[in-house]
């Protein structure tokens, strides 16, 4: 499975093409729209989300709500394009009238400056920010929604929530108080910040409110959990076959993500090996399993069969209403950076995006290992493989 997205934040459309989804998978725009709505909702988002109601059109690769095995094209319209139609017109020559709202003072922490240098966008850094905008993540979630449908067929469930926002975090043992991933989902999706308790949610909201009052931005940490993956996906044999490495790349590839760990590895820095390794146990019913899951579901770049636990650190959004020092790219004089419309935080949306990026990498690994022509044949193969794993 591979995919590509295209689209500018205020351009007419966002598009994705996915290749390699098996034939026979049930999928409808309603399935995808449900996930797109989750990405849009979350405490701390800005005015743009009031303009957009992200809904997908399925243009190719699906017939009567079932995949054909051919490339799937997905399309989401940018409603805000109406306000930018002349400035972002793809097929009109540039004129003084449509070359306005230029960005000449790059924002520290954003792609503006280096993107401008790299692509020679000396006349207007808008040419960088339109694509580097996190608007593009709408299509990654759309692709991830298809991946999640595929994973559900083989009993794999994936969910993302907010672990920390600024200084406020879930209690250390918050996760253990939930019975299963469905209960984690029910709680975090019921709260505007996607925290794991109403108390922490209130504290996070207070931090966001205060940050907004200060005209600043705030980052955080999201966590994604996946259950039901069989042991042995990915491989230890080469660096680029390790599935945890692929997930790490996918997470850091999300706008504003600066770090990733598995099984709370950041917290293990000061611990000894005897405190961190997951002891191996066996039972007739389960086959091999682990006493703990400090490795976050990976050993040697392969799934262990335990829960996959991934965390990602999201930096505060670089667009500040009280801008920092920058330099005008036209005359090289010092100025405050450009002010663009922004969110106070996007951590609540980032949890959903990270969930979908993990789903995409897990689906790719499943399709690499098993039949990718037809979903029923894939399911048959997964069942046989699970039996072999259990009997080892
Ligand atoms: C973004 C800036 C804001 C965000 C946008 C990402 O957009 P605008 O410049 O139109 O106000 O709202 O996110 C989305 C549009 C979205 O759908 O998530 C940025 O600079 O990255």
Residue of 142, 337, 343 with the most ligand 1 atoms within 8 Å of its CB, for mutation: 343
Please give the residue range of the domain that contains residue 373: 2-391
Whole-structure pTM value: 0.98
pLDDT of amino acid 129 = 97
Contact 7, 13 (CB under 8 A): yes
pLDDT of amino acid 339 = 86
Give residues with Cβ within 8 angstroms of 238, minimum separation 6. Answer: none
Buried b (16+ CB within 10 A) or exposed e, 180-189: ebeebbebbe
Q: What is the CATH number of the domain that holds 85?
A: 3.60.150.10
Q: 307 C-alpha to center of ligand 1: Å? A: 33
Question: Closest ligand 1 atom to the C-alpha of 349?
Answer: 18
The number of domains in the chain is: 1
Burial of 80 (0-12, 13-18, 19+ CB in 10 A): middle
Measured from the Cβ of residue 134, the count of other Cβ atoms closer than 10 Å reads 18
Which residues of the chain have a pLDDT value below 50? none
Give 249-270 as a DSSP string.
Answer: HHHHTSTTEEEEEETTGGGGTT
Residue nearest to atom 11 of ligand 1 (CA): 341
Residue of 129, 134, 136, 351 with the most ligand 1 atoms within 8 Å of its CB, for mutation: 134
Supply angle C-alpha 315, 320, 324, rounded to 5.
100
């Amino acid at each position: 499975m591979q995919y590509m997205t295209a689209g500018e934040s205020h351009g007419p459309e966002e598009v994705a093409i996915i290749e390699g989804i098996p034939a026979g998978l049930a999928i409808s725009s309603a399935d995808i729209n449900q996930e797109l709505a989750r990405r849009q909702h979350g405490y701390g988002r800005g005015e743009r989300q009031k303009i957009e109601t992200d809904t997908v059109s399925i243009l190719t690769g699906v017939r009567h709500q079932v995949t054909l095995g051919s490339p799937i094209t997905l399309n989401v319209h940018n409603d805000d394009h109406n306000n930018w139609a002349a400035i972002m017109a793809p097929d009109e020559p540039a004129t003084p009238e449509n070359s306005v709202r230029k960005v000449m003072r790059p924002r520290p922490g954003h792609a503006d400056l280096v993107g401008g240098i790299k692509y020679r966008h000396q006349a207007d850094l808008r040419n960088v920010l339109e694509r580097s905008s996190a608007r593009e993540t709408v299509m990654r979630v759309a692709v991830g929604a298809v991946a999640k449908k595929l994973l559900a067929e083989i009993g794999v469930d994936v969910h993302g929530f907010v672990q920390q926002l600024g200084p406020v975090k879930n209690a250390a043992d918050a996760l253990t108080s939930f019975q299963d991933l469905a209960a984690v989902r029910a709680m975090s999706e019921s709260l505007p910040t996607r925290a794991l308790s109403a108390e922490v949610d209130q504290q996070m909201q207070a931090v966001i409110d205060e940050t907004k009052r200060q005209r600043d931005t705030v980052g955080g940490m999201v966590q994604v959990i996946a259950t039901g993956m069989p042991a042995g996906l990915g491989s230890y044999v080469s660096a680029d076959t390790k599935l945890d490495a692929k997930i790490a790349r996918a997470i850091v590839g999300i706008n504003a993500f600066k770090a990733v760990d598995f099984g709370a590895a950041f917290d293990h820095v000061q611990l000894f090996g005897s405190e961190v390794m997951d002891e191996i146990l066996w039972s007739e019913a389960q086959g091999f399993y682990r006493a703990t899951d400090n490795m976050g579901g990976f050993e040697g770049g392969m799934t262990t069969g335990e829960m996959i636990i991934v965390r990602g650190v999201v930096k505060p959004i670089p667009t500040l209403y009280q801008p920092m020092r920058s330099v005008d790219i036209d005359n090289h004089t010092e100025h405050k950076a450009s002010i663009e419309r922004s969110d106070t935080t996007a951590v609540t949306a980032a949890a959903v995006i990270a969930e979908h990026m993990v789903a995409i990498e897990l689906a790719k690994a499943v399709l690499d290992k098993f039949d990718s022509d037809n979903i029923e044949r894939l399911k048959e193969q997964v069942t046989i493989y699970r039996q072999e794993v259990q009997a080892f």
